[in-house]
Structure 1
């Protein structure tokens, strides 16, 4: 009888440790996210399931063109691409991204631009027209969805605070046939 109680206690203890480890990993290191909507097409599709790396930005900073997840509202997280870093001047003109006066290639948009060859992909704008500030403020990022025609992003919500960024998302793990790293 004593051996049976000891065995049950060991199983309960092992299960409790496993649950604590899983919760700790999810809370501090990695978390799943489901892409909701088509704002990141063609890179990501609605209902793609991804892993968010939460630890990366605790020891480093977001880089230009990272795909990040951030708190857009109290109830909703968004997934978008980092376009502007603190101190950057952002402009879109004739479907070309200019950062600090230099034109940047956006190869992740090429397939969609070919499919949708019916006019501009991204409307012209400057950061100053959107936010009233010529430069991305310190501690902030400017983000956009890859599906520029149908994305609620920095053009609508302005810059986001880096403190609101949960982490970087670059691994799609579901659906199984679509497992991949994204850039």
Structure 2
């Protein structure tokens, strides 16, 4: 009887641990090249569901797109109330130039958008191959599902996203 009790306790602990993990972590399989070179097609990473209260510019987020009816992975470029301008491949936030160190030879057409109180402007790092806020429009806070995380597969891509 003692042996069965230990097995039951072990299974309950495993079950509770699995539930807690699922509530806190959003597993993501990257589909496409829109976030290269940060994330590659078929990278698998674990994203933090509970860190959206600390959202910052340039965080990598998982957002639900109503137009595409799926979760997408993008980078936060514009925060609520920002005036986001791209001119000659350079980002300006509220008139100030902001360097994007994660970009490598990426082209962005010129545009300006002013975000409302609860809007976020999201873009992929591979700007020429990304369906993002330039097409889908700004995202609401409720559309954002998780932030940052850790790439766990393939092993050669292992890294923490911040």
Common topology (TM > 0.5): yes
Matched, 1:103 2:101: no
Residue 55 of structure 2, aligned match among 48, 52, 62:
62
- The structure that has the greater radius of gyration is 1
* Structure 1 Cα separation of the partners of residues 7 and 102 of structure 2: 49
Task: Name the structure 2 match of 1:91.
Answer: 85
Instruction: Tell me how far 1:170 sits from its aligned partner.
Output: 3.4
Distance in 2 (CA, whole Å) between partners of 1:50 and 1:44 is: 9
> Are positions 1:153 and 2:132 aligned together?
yes
**Which consecutive unaligned segments of at least 5 residues does structure 2 have?**
none
1:155 and 1:176 map into 2 onto residues whose CA distance is: 32
Instruction: State the 1:36 CA deviation.
Output: 0.8
Equivalent pairs, count: 161
Give the corresponding residue for 2:110: 124
Structure with the higher fraction of residues in strand conformation: 2
Q: For 2:76, which of 74, 82, 86 is the aligned residue?
A: 82
- In the other structure, the counterpart of 1:130 is none
Map residues 19-58 of structure 1 onto 2, 5 A cutoff.
19-27=15-23, 29-57=24-52
In structure 2, C-alpha distance between the alignment counterparts of 1:83 and 1:22, rounded to whole Å: 33
Residue segments in structure 1 that go unaligned for 5+ positions in a row: 128-134
Q: Is the 8 A contact 2:81 2:119 kept in 1?
A: no
Higher helix fraction: Structure 1 or Structure 2?
A: 1
Q: What is the TM-score of this pair, normalised by structure 1?
A: 0.81
Give the alignment's TM-score, normalised by structure 2.
0.91
CA contact (8 A) 2:85 2:111 kept: yes
Equivalent residues of 2:26, 2:146 under 8 A apart: no
Q: Is the 1:50–1:169 Cα contact (8 Å) retained in structure 2?
A: no
RMSD: 1.7
SS of 1:109's equivalent in the other structure is: coil
